[in-house]
Structures are given as structure tokens and as C-alpha cells.
Chains A and B, each alone.
Chain A
Amino acid sequence: MGSHPKDVEITDEHPKSLLLQKHADYILSYTKKKEDYEYTMTEHFRMSGMYWGLTAMDILSQLDKMSRTEVVEFIRQCQDAESGGFSPSLGHDPHLLFTLSAVQILVMLEATEEVSVEGVVRYVSSLQNEDGSFSGDKWGEVDTRFSFCAVACLALLKRLESLNLDKAVEFVMRCQNVDGGFGTRPGSESHAGQIYCCLGLLSIAGQLHQVNGDLLGWWLCERQLPSGGLNGRPEKLPDVCYSWWVLASLSMLGRLHWINSAKMRLFIMATQDPETGGFTDRPGDMVDLYHTLFGLAGLSLLGETGLKEINPVFCMPQYIMTRLGISVQIVSP
């Protein structure tokens, strides 16, 4: 078989087991260093950063270490009174990406009554286009990621009837490709992140039967490279965030067993930084909150002990979904 020039090597020096407390400490210290360069430069996606950190802390069973009051107050300030949407932080504009992050956090903290839910519903439904797609904000960028954000948002608030779900499904199905995957818009190439979004939407809508599980499942399991890591498209480098996008997608399709989980686990473990705590995209790179959440979430899907069970559609701890009484569609192989 051909060599894999686009892969990484896992050596004995890389961590082999979960550095659970290190990660909790990393997340905690991140939120404390508000003067840090890293912290200020991430202001334009702060709301999502908070969601990544809080969800990771919850999976690690250390959510109580985060300040609920501070977080809720921040989110309250970020809701745009006029449109109803949420911005990533003060002084920035509202967007669907951050509206979903805000709703995810509020649901996790049981604090939805602290904001205007009607405002959120108004904002999300106002962004649906004639063809069923969603714009990310009023400037009109269309992407299947935004379709997922919109549908997941209103599903969490139990207000799905406020958007046209059939049309949303119809648009997503127009983005399907001959390899079974999905892209950003009709005609776009398949990409594991977009596939996760589209399958998540179809799962919420109970429409996963429209997908050929054997075909797409194969494309997804072909993302695993000899190192055990997963890439997001053919002939690309592995990245720990795909351990979430791909594994969650395979879970929804009932085909998680199509990848080698022992090797996958080793790869994710190797992306931990034993000095700082946190996960990186590939062994040896810089850690960040994004990869820390998706590393932990991937391990949770693989059944790692010490981590709370995660829901493959909402990327939130399962106990929260149970508490809300929200169930998602998972197909059988």
C-alpha cells in the first residue's frame, strides 16, 4: 500500500494516558489570565471559547469550579437587544455561531430565563432563507454550519416549530455529494466538519434515513490514518478536532466500530501537552480550548473512564439532554 506522506508519528515520549487534572487546571487558568495576549486575541470568538471550556469542565466533572454568575452575566451582556442574537463578546456583532454557543451554555447552566428566549427565536428564524438555508448573520453568508446552529439552537430551546424544518432538511440534502458526504453549500466538497453539522441536523429532524450509511460511513472511516488520527478530507493531515467531527458522525450512523478505537485513543492521548495541560491539533503544536474540548469529547465517545458521557449531536454532556428530555436519532447499522 502507498505510504502516507500526510501523517504524523506517535512515539513513546507522547502521553499515553489521560492527564485529567492537568486539563482542568489549564482551562481554569485560561479564564483567569484575562490580560494574556492569547486571551485578547480570541475575543472575536470568546463566546464559543467559553462553551468549549465549560463543556470540557463538565465532562471532567469540574464544572463547579467555573463562576456561573460571571458567565451568565457575560452572556446577558452579549445579547443584542435589537436582533436578539448573541455576539462573541462586547463590542462585536451577533452571529448564529455565537448564538448557539450562548444557548448551549445557558442550557448547561439552567439559565435560559436570564436572557430573552423570544429574542433568540426571532433572531434564528429571521436568518432562514427562501431555499431553507441559513445565513450566519444579516450579511448573508450561507453555510450548512449555520443550518446546524439554527436547528440545534431552537431544538435546545424546544422552539423548532418557529423555523421551517422541512425546508432546512431539503437544503442540507442538496449539499450531499456522490461520496455520501456534505459540503458548505450545494456543489461544495465533502468535509468532516460539515458532515457532522448536516448529520446532526438530520438527526434532530429524524431524517437520517435519507443518508446512505454504508457509503458515508466508509468515507468517514477512511479518514483514519496509520497513526490512528483522523483527517477531515482525503489526503490531509490528521487533527484532533476530527476525532470529534468524524466520531460523532459515525456514532449517529451507528458505525463507530468502523474505526480502530484503540489507535484513535492513542492518537488523541498523544495530542495532550503534559507541561501546560490541554490538547493540540497534532502532537507538538500549541494547545487551545477548541482542541481540548474536542479531544476530550472524542475520548468520551470512545468510552474513556473518568469522563462523562457526551451526546454526539449537541456535543454536550448526555445528562443534560436527558434532563431536558431531548432525544436524537441514531440509526442502526
Chain B
Amino acid sequence: MHGRLKIKTTAEQAAEKKKEREEKQKLYLAGLSKRASGTYDEECLKTTAQLLAANPDATTLWNIRREALLAGKSEDEESWSEVLQGELKMIVACLGKNHKSYGAWHHRCWVMENFPNPPWAAEVKLCDNYLKLDERNFHCWDYRRFVVAGSKQQPEDELKASQQLIEHNLSNYSAWHYRSKLLPLVHPPPATSPHPVAEQALIKELQMVVEAVFTDPSDQSPWFFLRWLVGRQEKGPRLLQVGYIHTQGEAGKLVCVFSQPVPQSAVPETTVDGVNGGAPLCWWAPDKSVYSRVWAADLSLPLDKEHSINLSQTGQPTRSLMVGQGVARALEWVANMEVCGEELSDTTRSTLEEVKENCTTLDELDPDNKWVMLTLVHVLWALDSRAHLPAILHYLAQLQTLDPLRHNYYADMKSKLVMETALRKHRVTEVDGDKFHVCGQDLTRVTHSHLLATTDCVDLSNNSLSSISSLCNLIACKELTLDQNEIQNLSPLSALAALQHLSVANNKIADIKQLSCLQSLTNLRHLNLKNNPVCEMEDSETRIRELLPGLQTLILR
């Protein structure tokens, strides 16, 4: 039903179509009645073949046909093979009508599965031919994978085939895709490698794809492949941080932060002061989801003495957390946040540097090519995002102008980079203690908020934030400043029980109902709502104070 041009039909054409339809209807009904009476004869095969050649998407007809074939199946292998050979020919006729028919391609698989000795090699050839007709036909590609698996063809051979298709047309995304599936099979990377394929192959592929993009830099397919090659393999989830924070008096929270979302069962076994059989800790995720990067448990520890908390994970050394007498918090970083570039070997680094040089040259030759710029962003990010920060931000800003359709994507990527860099600085220097701020950086989203789960003072003022859903992870935060953003909805803050100061001046909070989510924050004493539409409302002060009776300071103007 795709790509049918609208054409006016004459009365004559309409009459002809009507006749044609009636013929088909008659045939169809004949087929059905044969099936109902169990008469799977030659006539039945003939009728279904005729109908399917005109409409290969009619699944039921294929089913009737298979039933008829099975009913007439001969014990003699040779004659059965002959029947199935005939079937392969019949399918070719149907593919002539529609080479993207699900039913026809599936029937072909069924035929091959029923062959005593399937003609695999011939079918690989058939795929070659159909891919010449339409190199992106994903039905044929899927069928190719099926026959390649059946024929036990080596992935090396298929890698060569993909190479040929790419050489024939660089825009063949399907062939690049096939290559991305084959390479890790033929050149598997070592288990600990951050790269998707073994180093030698990686370097060779990078050279090949750089050559391709030089041939035609406006072709998008090779750029997708290049992005994959320079990207890093995601590691499994790791425990990054454990911490204990007194939030008020003796009440406190035990927090575990992971690099990837994990279920509650992944949280280490915990003992407090050597007691195993005490009341079990009740772990919860800030966003209430089943998988989370942050897991917390409420735990009250008397301030007048020292405490030790042991966390043990199977296959990992036991972590001990000492909470000193009268101390507000105890944190331990188990692992570092992943830093791009650190794990690169010298060989890969120099290859990436080469890609960078080549792209820089291309950027000079073809200054408005977004693919070149975007690749530079990824390569620089992979090499060392901190050192290349100004250059990456520059390219992203240019991309926003050059490719306005995806303006917000580039803005969000900028935000990610800014957050990543700020968090790394925050971790390394700890000049500000547990204060974290990113102000006036045009942030459109807050990524990595799990790394702020134990931070008690966060300032994200003067950005472009409209959604703050990820801030639910700030479970230890006492002071949160979000002035001068575009926030309308405060509900993600409703579980930040430690919050005492909240400043959201100059935002877009228009409805007093938005503030009811702050009712659950029993420690909230100071609220700055200055210059929000809600302040213009009649009796706003009285109504807000009624809603939040615990407030000491309320700034509306």
C-alpha cells in the first residue's frame, strides 16, 4: 500500500477491475472449499499459485498451499525434491509481483527447511541477484542470513561479499550493517577491550572507511559505521560509590551508586556494626523504578559513636565504610567514572589521531559538511573530551546552525559533555567539598545525576532546563538552586526529603498545584519563587503558606 500514485480511473477501467475482482473472488472461494473438504489436489495448487502470483501477501493462501503440499508429499525423496524445486520457481513468480512480500520470502524458508538436500549455494546466488535489483531489500537480506547459516558459509566470505557491495555503492547502509555484524565474528576483540573489534582489524577498517568518506563525504552510510568504530563498548554495571549521610539528627541514608541501572538484587549484602541479623535494610530507588543507578536505604545511626558498615558483593572484595563519631557523612568511591580516552592503546590512539587529521582536512575542503563535524565531535570525545572541550563545543554550536532540524539533539549533547566535564572536575579537585554547580552553560538536560546522589548542595542556575526529571536522584541534597531556567513542573523533587533550601526564581511555574508536590518535603524551610507566573496570582503568599506551613522564608517578589 506504499507509493501508489493517485490516478483517476475511468468507468471502463473500473468495470474491468470489477470483473477481475470477481474472478479472483471465485477462485479464492474455490480454494477455500477445497480446503474445507480436504481436497488438496493439483487444482488446489494451481488455483493458489494463480492467486498468489497476483497477491503474494495473502497469508492464508500460502497456508492452504503448504497444507496441500504436505498432503501430497511423496515418500520418495527425489520426487519430493522435484516438487519443492517447482515451489522455488513458483515463489520467484510471486516475487516478481512484489519482491518485498513477507509471505513469499517466508514460504521460501519453509521450502528450504523441507528439502531433503537443500540447494543452499544456488540460493546464495539468488540473493546476490535480488540484491542487485534492490540492494536495500531487507527481506532478501534476512533470507541471505538464513541461507548463509544453512550453507555453513564462512563469515570471512560474507565479509568479502559485503566489501564488494560497499565498493559498488557507498550508500548501501544494509551492506555496512552486515559488515558490523560480521567483523566481531571474524575479528573478535579481547574481553576487556573498549573496542568493538580486535585492534588490527579496527585500524584496517578505520582506514577503509576514511577512504570511503573522502570519496563522497555527503554519503551518510559510512559515517554511521565510522561512529560505531570510534565508539566504546559499554561495560556491564559496576558499583561506583557507597556512602552514608546523616540527613537530620540521627536519621540518615545509606546509598549505593552504580554505573548502569541495576535491579535491587544487585545491591551488596550489608551489615551494620557487625550485626547481620538486625532489621533488614529496605532499599528503594529514587524514581521508584525496578532498575536504577541509585539505591538508598533509610538507616539511623547514633551520632555519639563510630560505626562500621560492610558491603559485600559476590566475587568482589568486601567494602567497609567507617562513619566517624559525630560525622555528617562517609563516602567511598569504589570505581572511577569512565573517562574516555584513558584506556586507548598507543596504536589505537594514533589511528584515531589520524582519523582526526583526515576529518580536519575534510572540514577545510568541505566546510559545511555536518557528517565531518559530527565525526570530529565523536573522535575528539573518544580521544580526550576534557582536553578537547572547547573544540567539541565549537563544532556542536556550528552543527546547531548547519543542521537546524536536529538543533535540540546537539544542545542535549552539549549538556552531556558539560556535565561530564564538570563532574570529573568536581571529583578530582573537591575544592568545593560536596557542592556542585554548573551555571550559565546553556544546559538543556541534566545527565549523570546519579553521580550527585550524595552531594548536598547543587546549583544549576541560569541554564535552559525545562525538564528536571533526572534530579530525583539528588536524595542527599539540602540546598538546590535552579534559578533562571524554564521549569514548569517540580514533581521530580517530591522525594528529595533532605531538601531545606529550594530556589527556583525566574522560572515558568504557573500553577499553585505544582507546589503541592513539595508538601512531602518536611525539612523544607526556605523557598524562593521570585518571578514565576504563580507569584502574580491573587493571595499567592497566603495560599502558598497554607500549602507549605513549614516554610520559614518565602520569597515571591
Contacts and interface: CB of A to CB of B under 8 A. Distances in A.
A235 B177 contact: no
A34 to B, nearest CB: 13
A285 B405 CA distance: 25
Interface residues of B, number: 71
Nearest to A140: B110
B110 A139 contact: yes
Contacts of B55: 41, 44
Interface in B360-404: 368-370, 402-404
A285 B5 contact: yes
Contact of A183 (B106, B138, B289, B412): B138
A212 to B, nearest CB: 7
A3 B405 CA distance: 15
A236 B3 CA distance: 12
B216 to A, nearest CB: 8
Interface string B157-183: 000000000000001011001101100
B526 interface: no
A332 interface: yes
A218 B224 CA distance: 11
A91 B32 contact: yes
Given A139-B63, A280-B6, A332 B469 contact: yes
B138 A44 contact: no
A282 B290 CA distance: 42
B60 A44 contact: yes
A236 B174 CA distance: 12
Contacts of A190: 177
Contacts of A218: 409
A233 to B, nearest CB: 7
B406 A221 contact: yes
A217 B409 contact: yes
Nearest to B404: A260
A257 interface: yes
B169 to A, nearest CB: 10
Interface stretch (B17-25, B84-92, B198-206, B540-548): B17-25
A207 interface: yes
B428 to A, nearest CB: 24
B467 interface: yes
B243 interface: no
B180 A178 contact: yes
Contacts of B224: 179, 219, 234
Nearest to A283: B6
Contacts of B231: 215
A234 B2 CA distance: 17
A176 to B, nearest CB: 11
Contact of A333 (B6, B142, B404, B412): B412
A273 interface: yes
Interface in A287-321: 287-288, 290-291
A139 B467 CA distance: 47
Given A91-B32, A222-B406, A177 B177 contact: yes
A227 to B, nearest CB: 10
Nearest to B228: A178
A286 B5 contact: yes
Contacts of A93: 59-60, 63
B143 to A, nearest CB: 11
Interface in A229-275: 233-237, 239, 254-255, 257-260, 263, 273
Interface string B329-358: 000000000000000000000000000000
Interface in B257-302: 260-261, 289-291
Instruction: From B59, B218, B469, name the one whose CB has the most chain A CB atoms within 10 angstroms.
Output: B59
A191 B173 CA distance: 11
11 contacts: A92-B60, A95-B59, A177-B177, A214-B413, A214-B416, A217-B409, A226-B405, A235-B220, A258-B409, A287-B6, A332-B470
Given A189-B173, A237-B3, A332-B470, 12 more contacts: A1-B402, A37-B14, A37-B17, A37-B21, A40-B25, A139-B66, A183-B138, A183-B142, A215-B231, A224-B405, A235-B220, A287-B6
Interface of A: 1-3, 37, 40-41, 44, 87, 91-93, 95, 137, 139-141, 177-179, 183-185, 187-191, 206-207, 209, 212, 214-215, 217-219, 221-222, 224, 226, 233-237, 239, 254-255, 257-260, 263, 273, 280-282, 284-288, 290-291, 329, 332-333
Interface of B: 1-6, 14, 17-18, 21, 25, 28, 32, 55, 57-60, 62-63, 66, 102, 106, 109-110, 136, 138, 141-142, 145, 171, 173-174, 177-178, 180-181, 196, 216-221, 224, 228, 231, 234, 260-261, 289-291, 368-370, 402-409, 412-413, 416, 445, 467, 469-470
